[in-house]
Structure 1
Amino acid sequence: MYPEGGGSVAHRNDSRPLYQGLILDFVGVLTAGVLEAHRTWCVGQGLAPNAWRATLEDHPEGRSLYAALESGQLTQAEWNRRTAPLLGVDEHHNLMGRAWSAVRPADSMVALARAARAAGMRVALLSNSFGLEPYDPYGTLGVWELFDVTVISEREGIAKPDPAIYQRTLERMGLPGEVCVFVDDNPVNLPPAADLGITTVHADGQADTVKRLSNLLGVLPAAA
């Protein structure tokens, strides 16, 4: 019998949980349709479909501005103002929120997070931030409530893959790395977690990611 609204967690032979903590990234783990949403928005603005990605990842100034946003050195409002002309759009107000407007929560991963917490696991969010005002992505997609612990790079002044942010997450969870699982879509962010003894799972976009994670944790979301 599973706990109400949750699931069951795997145990060792001595009845101690095999895993006691689940650490989740946000983008690419708890979100769905990000690339499609950005491409659709870009086309609607008269831009090339890949303009958002190219500006944030390939343009030297765009890449620098986004790194400053992640570490809290730049507010989202200031990032909006300075990035809009790099993209080639006139209106900078709530640029981030407009580009993210069609992104959806990843329902199956959300359900698994709820089940893990209901089964007694500590659940944490470890996210490289892209600002909280005027657009709060976590609140908009309704994921704040999923977590016992939230570690957001903007608030910490450091971002993944800096090893210190993983250590802070474990400290706030009150757990050693050996009993935790970390899920991230960016493979660069996984080795620092593994170095702390955390079991890592690459959210590689495949349809079976949640099933693989569910099997690893021994947690089954309640039937709909």
Structure 2
Amino acid sequence: MCHAASVERRIAAVVFDLGGVLTPPVFGPLDELNDSLGLPEGTLRSFFRGDEVFAQVERGEVSFRDFLKSVGTRVQAAHGLRLDLRALAAAVEAPGHLEPAMVDLVRRLHGDGLRLGLLTNNAKESVVWRETLPRECFDVVVDSSEVGLRKPDPRIYALALERLGLPADQVLYVDDFAENLPPAADLGMRTWSFDGRDRLDAFLRGVVTP
């Protein structure tokens, strides 16, 4: 997905993804645990992308605890390794804190009068971001585990737009996973493939309505 830097129209709202955008990259500690256990590259990561059980967690249908147990069962069956589920949970939760530089950007955009939204695939049990998110800066927070929908289902993007109450072409959606951008674009939203605060900030300075 290309960046939207060539688009000159101004925007009235930004909707942020959470993990990997407002927080550090989500898979660093998980990959470190994977390597320390001698598992094939990407083994643990695969349970968090494209895995139906994890999708059920993010839709609020399965508990995170039961998901961890299922990962342990599947890893043991495939690799003969007994996982420490507490270590797995810690690796998943480690990147949950918000990046201070991104919080500063959010506060500045809010202060400039921009409408802001958060659209996140998440588990009900995830608490760190809920406790630290500057909620006063966000007009809309759409959490997959609360609404029973998850990205890239087009309906969750449509729900975010409905709650914002703005035309799609006035809204920029920011995500670090490429597969989450096309459904937003199909609805008419503008999209930004996140690769760091500085590039996003530079782009926003050119398209935010004064």
**What range describes the TM-score normalised by the shorter chain of this pair?**
0.7 to 0.9
CA contact 1:55–1:86 (8 Å) conserved in 2? no
CA contact 1:80–1:94 (8 Å) conserved in 2? no
- Structure 2 match to 1:156: 147
- Structure 2 match to 1:126: 119
Residues 210 and 108 of structure 1: CA distance in aligned 2, closer, same or farther (over 3 Å): farther
Identity percentage over the alignment?
27
Q: Does 1:184 align with 2:175?
A: yes
Q: Does 1:64 align with 2:57?
A: no
Taking structure 1 as the reference length, what is the TM-score of the superposition?
0.73
CA contact 1:33–1:103 (8 Å) conserved in 2? no
Q: Any unmatched runs of 5+ in structure 2? A: 1-7, 76-80
The residue type equivalent to 1:31 in the other structure is: T
Cα shift at 1:24? 0.4
Distance 2:166 2:84 in 1: 45
The residue type equivalent to 1:79 in the other structure is: F
Q: Among residues 191, 202, 207, which one is paired with 1:200 in the alignment?
A: 191
Distance 2:106 2:95 in 1: 22
Residues 50-61 of structure 1 mapped to structure 2, 5 A cutoff: 50-57=42-49
**Larger helix percent:** 2
Q: Could you report, residue by residue, the CA deviation over 1:62-119 in whole angstroms, capped at 9, with x for unpaired residues?
A: x121121122221212212222233444443584344332555333322211111111
Name the SS of the counterpart of 2:191 in structure 1: strand
Output the aligned Cα RMSD: 2.9
After the TM superposition, which parts of structure 1 deviate over 4 Å for at least 4 consecutive aligned residues?
A: none
CA contact 1:41–1:99 (8 Å) conserved in 2? no
Name the SS of the counterpart of 2:163 in structure 1: helix
Q: Any unmatched runs of 5+ in structure 1? A: 1-11
The residue type equivalent to 2:60 in the other structure is: G
Distance 1:171 1:82 in 2: 36
Distance 1:136 1:86 in 2: 26
- Structure 2 match to 1:32: 24
The residue type equivalent to 2:201 in the other structure is: K
CA contact 2:23–2:98 (8 Å) conserved in 1? yes
Name the SS of the counterpart of 1:183 in structure 2: strand
